[in-house]
Structure 1
Amino acid sequence: MNRVRISRQRRSKGAEINMAPLLDMVFILLIFFIVTTSFVKESGVEIQRPTAKSAMPREKVHLMVEVTQTGDLFIEGKSIDIRSLRARMKRFIVETPGGSVVIVADRQSSTGTVIRVLDESRLAGVENISVSARKPE
């Protein structure tokens, strides 16, 4: 009998996938997301917050009122007069029902100014008011 010889064909290497462009795209996307990530919105006002051992990170801040060392007030980086603060907060409550206000006061600022901001917030109808502090290092 004749034996038929069947030869096994060796598989060719075939097409290779070049991973370099894929890695380039991954790094470009990573850089894009790092650059475009929205961080906590803080204005450029220089404030030294007091420390508190019980300080907790805030979940979601709707309106930040900043009190500087000299007693100046800022909302969203814009200077505001104490007399127009209540009207601004009333408008905020209408636009954001249930919104909260965070008072970011410099540790050298006047307690009277902070109390006035608290008072104006309450008179405007804000229910959730907190004072910002940082944990000691």
Structure 2
Amino acid sequence: MAFKKYAAEHEEAKVDMTPMLDIIFIMLIFFIVTTSFVKPMGIDYNKPESSARSSAKSDNILISVNKAGIIKMENRQVDIERLTANIERKLAETPGAAVLIQAEGETLHGVVVKVMDEVKTAGVKKISVTQSD
């Protein structure tokens, strides 16, 4: 019995890409057919510009906290114990005001949380916290 030394000189393995391309095209057609294109319903309108808003005084209360834990309200230093009374006084002047707490990047979270607790104790519903540079 004679065996060939080499079964095939240079047989290269080839992968038939046709079935894979067929599957991709079938999936593409499936997704196109099943997608629903719905135009959102609504009314387009133009809002008029209001000049009264630009001249009105801001209703926001700004409280800033630096990295040393010093709390300032209306550009004056305030103790944490007196913060609730100051906010209540400001709310009496402008009811429904929102409070913006602006803390420096390295401020301890505990100080900011104490300020938020005092603001909530004063009865403020809208509180925002931002980070200053």
**Normalised by the size of structure 2, how large is the TM-score?**
0.54
Residue in structure 2 matched with residue 100 of structure 1 by the alignment:
98
**Structure 2: distance between partners of 1:98 and 1:90:** 11
Please say if residues 105 and 131 of structure 2, whose CA atoms lie closer than 8 Å, have aligned partners that are also in contact: no
Equivalent AA in structure 2 for residue 65 of structure 1? I
Structure 2, unmatched stretches of 5+, are 1-53
1:133 deviation in Å? 3.7
Residue in structure 2 matched with residue 119 of structure 1 by the alignment:
117
**Structure 2: distance between partners of 1:73 and 1:115:** 12
**Normalised by the size of structure 1, how large is the TM-score?**
0.52
Q: Which residue of the other structure, out of 69, 72, 75, is the alignment partner of 2:73?
A: 75
Count of aligned pairs between the two proteins? 76
CA RMSD of aligned residues (A): 1.7
**Correspondence 1:10-29 to 2 at 5 A:** none
Moved over 4 A (4+): none
CA displacement 1:45-92 (0-9 Å, x = unmatched): xxxxxxxxxxxxxxx561100000000000121111101000001111
Q: Whose relative contact order is higher, 1 or 2, with alpha carbons under 8 Å and at least 6 apart?
A: 1
Rg larger in 1 or in 2? 2
